[in-house]
A and B are shown apart, each in its own frame.
Chain A
């Protein structure tokens, strides 16, 4: 998985609780992304980062926030989890070369009861 780890790999939580997912890379890539994967929807971009402390929203950012204080770490926070946020979350990284592809982590399966 191209030097990308995600933690935790599985989590069950209750509605209304805060949740933080962590993505850690060892590739020193500049760009990092958070996606959610749901049946019939493919991979949808939640937030992305283009440098330390530089982040922006993706297409499904409502209810999520992110932070990147170091090149290697990108955190995704659900401030108050809802059942609609039950999903599989993937982190991806990419370099800055021409047509650099994205490399994905192993994913985190989150269930919100």
Chain B
């Protein structure tokens, strides 16, 4: 079964708005939650990651919010820009599992100028 569920599948946001992408997981053993950004024709690249001992991590305009009790985490992109238009993937992993990641199905973000 899919271990990480991601929504929405696609998202359209106006320039300057806030983009929010949500992920939910089942396995409570997960202890590392990265987000990847992928531009067309490129491989995914790490954007930001969080461990479950904190509830929020911010890097520039990108913030991860983590809710351990709800088994959910989300990516917030503040002041969204057309250059942020890409596909975003959440993932989860846990130690001692050969660093295997379980990916969400992806969200295609389109930021309109």
Counting CB contacts under 8 A, is A64 at the interface? no
Residues of A within 8 A of B49 (CB): 99, 101
Instruction: Give B93's nearest chain A residue, CB to CB.
Output: A99
Bound Cα distance from A40 to B2, whole angstroms: 12
Bound Cα distance from A100 to B32, whole angstroms: 9
Binding site secondary structure of chain B: loop
Bound Cα distance from A110 to B95, whole angstroms: 32
Q: Given A42-B89, A42-B106, A90-B44, check contact A101 B98 (CB 8 Å).
A: no
Interface size on B, residues (CB 8 A): 25
Residues of B within 8 A of A1 (CB): 43
Whether the pair A104, B32 counts as a contact (CB closer than 8 A) is: no
* Choice from A31, A41, A104 contacting B105 with Cβ under 8 Å: A41
Residues of A within 8 A of B89 (CB): 42-43
Q: Mark B63-98, 1 if CB is under 8 A from A, else 0.
A: 000000000000000000000000001000101001
Q: Given A40-B9, A43-B89, A98-B95, check contact A106 B101 (CB 8 Å).
A: no
Counting CB contacts under 8 A, is B99 at the interface? yes
Counting CB contacts under 8 A, is B51 at the interface? yes
Whether the pair A42, B104 counts as a contact (CB closer than 8 A) is: yes
Counting CB contacts under 8 A, is A45 at the interface? yes
Counting CB contacts under 8 A, is A65 at the interface? no
Say which size band chain A's interface belongs to: 20 to 34
Whether the pair A48, B43 counts as a contact (CB closer than 8 A) is: no
- Nearest Cβ in chain A — how far from B27, in angstroms? 14
Residues of A within 8 A of B101 (CB): 43, 45, 102
Whether the pair A94, B106 counts as a contact (CB closer than 8 A) is: no
Q: Which of A56-113 contact B (CB under 8 A)?
A: 56, 58, 90, 94-96, 98-107
* Choice from B9, B42, B99, B104 contacting A31 with Cβ under 8 Å: B99
A sample of 7 inter-chain contacts (CB < 8 A) reads: A1-B43, A45-B100, A99-B32, A102-B46, A104-B36, A106-B42, A107-B41
Give A residues with C-beta under 8 Å from B: 1, 4, 31, 33, 40-45, 48, 50, 56, 58, 90, 94-96, 98-107
